[in-house]
Structure 1
Amino acid sequence: MRVSLGRPACLAALALAATSCTFPVEGQFAGRSLADRADPTRTIVLIYNHGFSRDTAGTYKPGVPPILQLAVDRNPDVVLFSQVRNASRLERTHHSDYIESAVELFRRRDGVPLENIILVGQSCGGWGSLQAAAFVYPGIGGVLAFAPTCHGQLPHSSSVKRARESEIAQLAERVRFPGVIFLYEGDSYYDLADWEGFETRGPQAPDLKLERLARGRVLEVCSRCGRDSHGAMSDARFGAAFFPSHVQPLIERVRERIRARSER
């Protein structure tokens, strides 16, 4: 599930060998890297993961959606790592495995506290980010998931539909982290109805929000979504519309936790 990701950022090349993890960590920092920051414990790290398609597997290159470029441009204490998962075949569970490897690498090698990390993902990358946070890292700084799914295009078979319903229910029972899940009407990979009742199924974190965009709103913020809403976050208008109200507050929340920790 690959989308075009707006203008390329100035990317500092990086290929990380995660010797302590099962899955390799590859990708690039957008602009400044952790090495440019004097204190990793006072740095906010965004780990972004793209979508996935078997047709383009093995060819992914790091990209920076406009909404995440704004995070870097407007916050000098934020670094963005654009991760790639270039395997020829990935199952649903593998996406979270790659993300977990990246989290562990930044924690162990660079000394970045878990609560300083925000997981961000589109499609399979968003699904993997939610899975990693819910089942492995409930203390993560936050999650931004855009059109999270990794179950193929609609229509889904009965078995896939049941599996997806079960997995969403499990997420609802386990989420303890702040963040935003963006969902779109007119997405060719899922139905908005899949997420009905999500907010009431479990004792969720009070600062986790589901942002459901009606089809008309999608078309207002995405010029390339005439046939499919799935890639809405790749449009600069989407970033302009939702960065101030949805992304910046999450960054501020993490920054406040860093400040409070340093004052103890």
Structure 2
Amino acid sequence: MRAPLARPALLAAVALVATSCAFPVEGRFAGSSVADRADPTRTIVLIYNHGFSRERAGTYEALVPPILQQALERNSDVVLFSQVRNTPRLGRTQHGDYIEGAIEQFRRRDGVPLENIILVGQSCGGWGSLQAAAFTYPSVGGVVVFAPTCHGQLPHSTKVAMARTAEIAQLAERARFPLIIFVYENDSYYRLADWDGFEARAPRAPHLQIERLTRARVLELCARCSRDSHGAMWDARFGEAFYASHLQPLIDRVRARIRTRAASSR
């Protein structure tokens, strides 16, 4: 286990035994699984984490967001595993551990190269995806996070706010992987300003993109965000706005590296 920082319908349910901190890997594939593919070394795996400890939390369900559904529809070599957090209580520095368990399972059991794996996360799932890549797997194919946070709702105490600032700075300094971050104005869990200066602190993160959406832009893209911007990525309009410019180019770069690797091994 890591030391604290400061330092459409889902199918094919699976339950795997993880190697990281004894967290079992639980969740479902959306459509086909890695096992359905003839060559795992040519398969791109999206591991999606929503941070829920159950299939439903409040008004949100652990379904495939539209922006990720587009990835499945447009790329025949992509599979998506939607991971469910298997314990109701995890500290903010532990969310990366259960994600690391899934990475190891796909690598060791299925033979998927680390460079073929893209971590995708929302909220605590996004925070954990950043942790897993920054501290353990900097060679992943990429990380895409939406509203990454795991520090509770605003207002934060001075102690939590200071810790969060330090943790974001540390994640930036450790980033060595392609990274896309979406953050929103009027999110009830963080301030947009928390991410100020991230680019300057992350000079070694290739293809870094940070989308800071204003409140007006969020309302254009999300019908359910009248009170809170946190769930903006669940709207189909969000996917239409950002898939082609952000997620598809990342997938294309991973695929290009797979082809280069295959050609060099001949």
Global fold match (TM > 0.5)? yes
Q: Which residues in structure 2 correspond to 1:1-264 (within 5 Å)?
A: 8-18=8-18, 22-52=22-52, 57-58=53-54, 60=56, 62-264=62-264
Contact 2:50/2:123 (<8 A) preserved: yes
What SS is found at the alignment partner of 1:110?
A: coil
What TM-score comes out, normalization by structure 2 length? 0.92
Cα distance in 2 for partners of 1:230, 1:185 equals 9
**Alignment RMSD, CA only?**
1.4
What SS is found at the alignment partner of 2:93?
A: helix
Q: How far 1:62 sits from its partner (Å)?
A: 4.3
| Runs of 4+ deviating beyond 4 Å | 57-62
Contact 1:28/1:62 (<8 A) preserved: no
Contact 2:183/2:192 (<8 A) preserved: yes
Structure 2 residues not aligned, in runs of 5+: 1-7
Aligned residues: 253
Shift of the 20–10 alpha-carbon distance from structure 1 to 2, 3 Å rule, reads closer
Cα distance in 2 for partners of 1:124, 1:10 equals 21
What SS is found at the alignment partner of 1:83?
A: strand
Percent identity for Structure 1 against Structure 2: 74
Q: How far 1:240 sits from its partner (Å)?
A: 1.1
Cα distance in 2 for partners of 1:189, 1:228 equals 9
Cα distance in 1 for partners of 2:178, 2:104 equals 20
Q: How far 1:225 sits from its partner (Å)?
A: 0.5
1:83-140 Cα deviation digits (max 9, x unpaired):
0013121111221000000001100000000000000000000000011101111111
Q: How far 1:9 sits from its partner (Å)?
A: 2.3
1:1-54 Cα deviation digits (max 9, x unpaired):
xxxxxxx324122112225752110001000111111000000000000134xx
